[in-house]
């Protein structure tokens, strides 16, 4: 290239970076906020996408009547679950890269729950992969049960961990979990059990099952779909009860948020509207509307979670000065900028792959088992 042109481009870039606004956005503090937002985005993506296949797992026995229908039901999420879990992997990698201190502290504190979740995720994939290989009806049932229980347990632990992080955990000044000297066998789990964490675990379970049900509603038709619809009211009722209880507990336990209360108010209102829209969309027979509403509920809850903990990533229940906030946990500016470039180039492609997958496997199916129907008639 012409050297003059190169110099010109270089000076142009330099002056662009030196303008106060860009410099301000690219300041380390701004990058920390930006990366917090990116993490929330990845977490939202994971919760919405893997949420539906975890949900389908939780309600595995709710709609399907026999193992043929359960096989078909598992087939509905077959092409998607693997890609959905990549969001979790990317979330983990991004947390590692952007806030290594928090990554280390959070995961080492939650070592036992995390290991159980990983165990469940492996068991889920395994039972999904092998259920149809089982020779006997009994073994098929065992795999179905494993699939369902591992989905349930993983979801509960995800939700409960989020609740525990919101409420704060006993970490000391080195950022490590502090269990008393006389800590019992199960101390690595019991430290995280609070009313709020249990409630948010239940919230995740009910919300994901609802979300999974709405995904099945979206992707199926015929007799099977009508059974899906019949299962909606009781699940919805359970979700609303847990939702209200969790909200009350959160308002009671969490410190009031000052500055940006207006945003919390707006999103919380949207959230309630989306919750109310669910039965409406189902009543008018709009599967997309219903699924979008439950996705919106998930997104809003992740936002509220993020806004509550921000600017902390992990709060210490022992001493507020031991909280790990985004500024002290952050990587260097160079890494955050490099990773920003990685994200900017990566995300459009991720969107493209996701779109291709969902476009290829569009359409609805009737999963009802004809033999079973004949039995009924």
Partner 1 sequence: MIELLTDIEVMSRIQFAMTISFHYLFPPLTIGLGFILVAMEWKWLRTRDPVWERTARFWTSMFAINFALGVATGIVMEFEFGTNWSEYSRFVGDVFGSMLAAEGLWAFFLESGFLAVLVFGWDRVTPRFHFFATLMVCLGSTFSSIWIVMANSWMQTPTGFAVEPMLRDGIPWVVDGVVVNRAVLTDFFGALLNPSSANRITHVWVGAATMGSFFVLSISSYWILRGRHMAVATRSFAFALVLGAIGTVGAMLTGDANARMVAVHQPVKLAAMEGVYETRDALTPITIMGVPEDSKSRLAYEVPIPAGLTALVYRRLHDEQGRPLAVPGLDFAPPESRPKTMLVYASFHIMVGCGTLLVGLAGLGVYFWIRGTLWNQRWLLMLFVIAVVPAAIANQVGWYTAETGRQPWIVHPASPRVDASQGVMSPLWLVNPEAEGDSRVRQWTPGDPVAGLEGWYYPYGYRISSNSDGGHRLLGLAEDLPDGEALVYDGTRSMRTSEGVSRSLRSSAILWACLMFLLIYVLLAVLWTVVLNHKIHTGPDDDIPEDDQGGIVVAMRRAVGEITSMTGLRRRGDSP
Residues 292-331 close enough to bind partner 1 by CB under 8 A: 328, 331
C-alpha pair distances (Å), 253 with each of 168, 202, 261, 305: 10, 17, 17, 13
Tokens describing residue 365: 């199916």
Of the candidate residues 44, 105, 271, 316, the single one contacting partner 1 (CB under 8 A): 105
28 binds partner 1 (CB under 8 A): no
Nearest to 152 by CA among 116, 187, 126: 116
154 binds partner 1 (CB under 8 A): no
Q: How far is the CB of 76 from partner 1 (least distance, A)?
A: 7
139 binds partner 1 (CB under 8 A): no
Of the candidate residues 149, 193, 240, 347, the single one contacting partner 1 (CB under 8 A): 347
Alpha carbons within 13 A on the beta-carbon side of 305: 31
Of the candidate residues 27, 119, 276, 283, the single one contacting partner 1 (CB under 8 A): 119
In terms of C-beta density within 10 A (0-12 exposed, 13-18 middle, 19 or more buried), how is residue 323 classed?
buried
Of the candidate residues 90, 247, 308, 317, the single one contacting partner 1 (CB under 8 A): 90
Please check whether residue 234 is in contact with residue 263, taking contact to mean a CB–CB distance below 8 angstroms.
no
Q: How far is the CB of 39 from partner 1 (least distance, A)?
A: 11
Of the candidate residues 6, 248, 356, 375, the single one contacting partner 1 (CB under 8 A): 356
Please check whether residue 268 is in contact with residue 257, taking contact to mean a CB–CB distance below 8 angstroms.
no
State the Cα–Cα distance between residues 321 and 303, nearest whole angstrom: 25
In terms of C-beta density within 10 A (0-12 exposed, 13-18 middle, 19 or more buried), how is residue 20 classed?
exposed
Q: How far is the CB of 267 from partner 1 (least distance, A)?
A: 27
Nearest to 255 by CA among 330, 310, 194: 310
Q: How far is the CB of 165 from partner 1 (least distance, A)?
A: 14
Q: How far is the CB of 269 from partner 1 (least distance, A)?
A: 33
Judged by beta carbon, residue 2 or residue 321, the one nearer partner 1 is 321
Nearest to 211 by CA among 141, 274, 160, 257: 274
- Rule CB under 8 A: which of 215-244 touch partner 1? 221-222
98 binds partner 1 (CB under 8 A): yes
Alpha carbons within 13 A on the beta-carbon side of 369: 15
- Rule CB under 8 A: which of 55-74 touch partner 1? 71-74
In terms of C-beta density within 10 A (0-12 exposed, 13-18 middle, 19 or more buried), how is residue 2 classed?
exposed
- Sole window of 154-162, 291-299, 300-308, 336-344 interacting with partner 1 (rule: CB under 8 A): 336-344
- Pick left, alpha or beta for residue 254 (phi over 0 → left; psi -120 to 50 → alpha; otherwise beta): beta
Q: How far is the CB of 103 from partner 1 (least distance, A)?
A: 5
Judged by beta carbon, residue 2 or residue 174, the one nearer partner 1 is 174
Q: How far is the CB of 129 from partner 1 (least distance, A)?
A: 5
46 binds partner 1 (CB under 8 A): no
- Rule CB under 8 A: which of 155-214 touch partner 1? 173-179, 183, 185, 188
Determine the size of the site formed for partner 1 (CB under 8 A). Answer: 92
- Rule CB under 8 A: which of 252-291 touch partner 1? none
Of the candidate residues 10, 24, 29, 129, the single one contacting partner 1 (CB under 8 A): 129
Judged by beta carbon, residue 170 or residue 279, the one nearer partner 1 is 170
State the Cα–Cα distance between residues 110 and 169, nearest whole angstrom: 10
State the Cα–Cα distance between residues 142 and 161, nearest whole angstrom: 28
Of the candidate residues 123, 278, 297, 326, the single one contacting partner 1 (CB under 8 A): 123
Q: How far is the CB of 238 from partner 1 (least distance, A)?
A: 28
With b for 16 or more beta-carbon neighbours within 10 A and e for fewer, the 238-269 pattern comes to ebbebbeebbebbeebeeeeeeeeeeeeebbe
């Amino acid at each position: 290239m012409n050297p003059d042109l190169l110099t010109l481009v270089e000076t142009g870039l330099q002056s662009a970076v030196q303008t106060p606004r860009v410099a301000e956005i690219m300041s380390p503090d701004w990058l920390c906020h930006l990366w917090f937002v990116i993490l929330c985005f990845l977490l939202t993506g994971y919760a919405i996408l893997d949420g539906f296949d975890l949900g389908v797992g939780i309600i595995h026995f709710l709609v399907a009547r026999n193992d043929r229908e359960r096989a078909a039901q598992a087939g509905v999420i077959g092409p998607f679950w693997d890609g959905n879990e990549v969001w979790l992997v990317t979330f983990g990698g991004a947390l590692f890269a952007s806030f290594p201190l928090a990554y280390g502290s959070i995961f080492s504190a939650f070592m036992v729950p995390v290991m159980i979740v990983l165990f469940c995720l492996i068991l889920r994939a395994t039972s999904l992969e092998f259920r149809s290989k089982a020779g006997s009806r009994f073994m098929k049932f065992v795999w179905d049960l494993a699939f369902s229980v591992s989905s349930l347990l993983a979801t509960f632990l995800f939700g409960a961990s989020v609740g525990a992080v919101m409420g704060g955990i006993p970490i000391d000044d080195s950022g490590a979990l502090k269990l008393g000297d006389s800590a019992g066998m199960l101390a690595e789990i019991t430290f995280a059990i609070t009313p709020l964490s249990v409630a948010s675990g239940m919230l995740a379970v009910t919300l994901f099952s609802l979300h999974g049900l709405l995904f099945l509603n979206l992707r199926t038709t015929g007799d099977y779909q009508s059974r899906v619809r019949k299962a909606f009211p009781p699940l919805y009722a359970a979700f609303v009860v847990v939702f209200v209880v969790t909200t009350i507990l959160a308002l009671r336990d969490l410190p009031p948020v000052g500055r940006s209360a207006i945003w919390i108010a707006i999103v919380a209102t949207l959230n309630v509207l989306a919750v109310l829209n669910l039965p409406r969309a189902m009543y008018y027979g709009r599967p997309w509307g219903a699924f979008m509403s439950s996705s919106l509920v998930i997104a809003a809850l992740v936002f509220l979670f993020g806004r509550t903990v921000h600017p902390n990533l992990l709060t210490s229940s022992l001493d507020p000065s031991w909280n790990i906030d985004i500024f002290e946990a952050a990587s260097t500016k160079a890494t955050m900028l490099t990773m920003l470039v990685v994200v900017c180039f990566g995300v459009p492609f991720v969107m493209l792959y996701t779109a291709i997958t969902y476009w290829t496997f569009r359409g609805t199916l009737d999963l009802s088992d004809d033999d079973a129907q004949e039995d009924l008639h």
